[in-house]
């Protein structure tokens, strides 16, 4: 199944609501990579045009990889603005995954080509940026701009992990993208820990 069933409300419900309140550049923000044992956390911020991009958007985890890449290209070509924030495993270990995630999201907003005047955030956390904002639980299933950010962040992180696979093929990052699959855990036990691994995460720290 390419897409799950339609949500009870339109995916542009929040965008339209805040547009009616006078906001013009509404950015959706989401992140990918909180759970893996290796690699960065990647966030994206996306400002969609008022009429959308001509395709239905949904949570990146519910879309096939091929469709996700197609939608990412479309988003990058038609969005009013896209920003990316990347926080590596060193900072994740230095602080914690929550703080690294919030920092990546703030960075994505800062890297937008134009400043937004309102932010829709996936989750229940507010960001330390001087902008009005609305956290939305399961926002990638309820907001088109958050879903777009989810797609862009997922594709970008997957690309980074595929690049790292070239340096560390024995971990097979290209397949599991750093998540704690049985294959990945066995590779850590056999080959040890590499620079990409999160040293404070269970499943990694036991092998230091």
pLDDT digits (tens, 9 = 90+) for 20-75: 999 999 999 999 999 999 999 999 999 999 888 888 887 788 889 999 999 999 99
> Whole-number mean pLDDT of the chain?
93
Alpha helices in the chain (DSSP H): 13-20, 65-78, 89-94, 97-110, 144-167, 173-176, 182-191
Predicted local confidence at residue 53, as pLDDT: 87
Asked which of 1-10, 139-148, 151-160, 183-192 is least confident by mean pLDDT, the reply is 1-10
| Each residue's pLDDT tens digit, 105-144 | 999 999 999 999 999 999 999 999 999 999 999 999 999 9
Predicted local confidence at residue 8, as pLDDT: 62
Predicted local confidence at residue 56, as pLDDT: 84
Contact 26, 19 (CB under 8 A): yes
Question: What kind of fold does domain 13-157 have according to CATH?
Answer: Nucleotidyltransferase; domain 5 (3.30.420)
Cα distances (Å, whole numbers) of residue 150 to 58, 93, 138, 170: 8, 23, 11, 28
Task: Please count the CA atoms within 13 angstroms of the CA of 4 that sit on its side-chain side.
Answer: 11
Predicted local confidence at residue 3, as pLDDT: 44
Helical (H) or strand (E) element with 87: strand 81-87
């Amino acid at each position: 199944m390419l897409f799950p069933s339609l949500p009870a409300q339109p995916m542009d419900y929040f965008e339209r609501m805040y547009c009616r309140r006078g906001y013009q550049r509404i950015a959706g923000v989401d992140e990918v990579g909180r759970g893996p044992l290796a690699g960065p956390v990647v966030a994206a911020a996306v400002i969609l045009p008022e009429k959308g991009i001509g395709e239905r958007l949904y949570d990146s985890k519910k879309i096939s990889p091929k469709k996700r890449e197609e939608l990412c290209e479309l988003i990058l070509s038609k969005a009013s603005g896209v920003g990316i924030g990347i926080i590596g495993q060193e900072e994740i270990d230095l602080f914690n995954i929550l703080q690294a995630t919030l920092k990546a999201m703030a960075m994505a907003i800062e890297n937008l080509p134009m400043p937004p005047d309102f932010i829709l955030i996936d989750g229940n956390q507010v960001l330390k940026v001087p902008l009005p904002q609305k956290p939305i639980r399961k926002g990638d299933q309820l907001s088109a701009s958050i879903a777009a950010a989810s797609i862009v962040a997922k594709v970008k992180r997957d690309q980074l992990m595929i690049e790292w696979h070239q340096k560390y093929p024995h971990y097979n990052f290209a397949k599991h993208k750093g998540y704690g699959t049985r294959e990945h855990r066995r590779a850590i036990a056999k080959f040890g820990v590499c620079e990409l691994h999160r040293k404070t995460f269970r499943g990694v720290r036991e092998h230091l």
